[in-house]
Amino acid sequence: MTSHTEFFLLGFHGLGEYRKYIFIPFFLISVLSFVGNAALIFTIKTGSSLHSPMYVLICINACVDLTLPIIFVPKMLLSFLFDLSGITLLGCLVQMFFIHFVSSFQSTVLLGMALDRYVAICIPLRYNDYVNISTFFKFSVVVILRNMFFVLLVVVLASPLSFCLSNVIDDCFCQHMALVSLACGNTSKNSIIGLLSVFSITVTDAVLIVISYIKIFSDVFKTHSKSSEKALHTCGTHLIVTGVSFSFTMTSFLAYRFKSSLPPNIHNLISVTYLLLPSTFHPIIYGIRTKAIREQMLNLFQCTRIGPISMKVSSIH
């Protein structure tokens, strides 16, 4: 059998002629995500009081959320609007790698935030000993190598498959299981490695985050100090973001395992929202829930208003 080397990304094909109209909501969501994350990065970068490790991690999270839609949204929107759905096997594999590699850092950055809060609340006197440039560098190298190894392994094992069943990918972008499901022959190895990757990255990060927050809550309930309770309040934002991110991730993961029981359009919606909506909600949540970031945003907004007014007054005089 001939193996296909070109594919068509036909997510939401069940909508027929109405498919082009979903360009509008996804375009607006993408713009909101881009503006929100860019504003959050600019706010943290320009705020001298926002250069502590916790805010740096929030900034890194915003960089991940800013990058992820850029990888697949332009191609998706062109497919909706102009039916430009074609993609080569190499292009599909490259897109798959970057989608899974970048999205893997959503849970990893949240783990970094949880560990930062654990040290700050449970062992504050040792904070500078544990949270420093050296530790950050070692943590970054370990998680980058871990995430790259498992994602690259998934992509490399998918590349030699013979895709003879179909060349139509019933999704808006190239995901591992969406492509592997088109292969003929035994793909159990690909499914096992895919599951192993999810457990080694996402599930491992989730378990460590849960352990960190259990220790944080246990310490706060024991001490009942005002400083610990105040520090605990900052964990609320991280818990909200963590809950939202992992809810979307696990929903998408389960959707692929029970794809046959879901209508195609619902499955497409889940696969897109799991990548796009967290990137949209994260800057809103951090902007509202984090006092220092909210105040810095208000200061920047006031400066932009006062600046033009001052220029007009000076020009009059």
Contact by Cβ (8 Å): 274, 240:
no
Rg, the chain, Cα only: 22
Whole-number Cα distances in Å, 76 to 82, 84, 95, 128, 170 = 10, 9, 12, 45, 12
Contact by Cβ (8 Å): 113, 238:
yes
**Whole-angstrom Cα distance, residue 171 to residue 173?**
6
Length of the chain: 317
Q: Report if pTM > 0.85.
A: yes
pLDDT tens string for the chain (317 positions)? 678 899 999 989 888 888 889 999 999 999 999 999 999 999 999 888 888 888 899 999 999 999 999 999 999 999 999 988 999 999 999 999 999 999 999 889 989 989 998 998 888 888 888 998 899 999 999 999 999 999 999 999 999 999 988 899 988 999 888 899 899 888 889 989 988 998 999 889 989 998 998 888 888 777 665 655 666 666 777 777 777 777 777 777 777 666 666 788 888 888 888 888 888 888 888 887 788 888 888 887 777 665 555 555 455 55
CATH of domain 6-312: 1.20.1070.10
Contact by Cβ (8 Å): 200, 209:
no
CB hemisphere CA count around 123 (13 angstroms) = 12
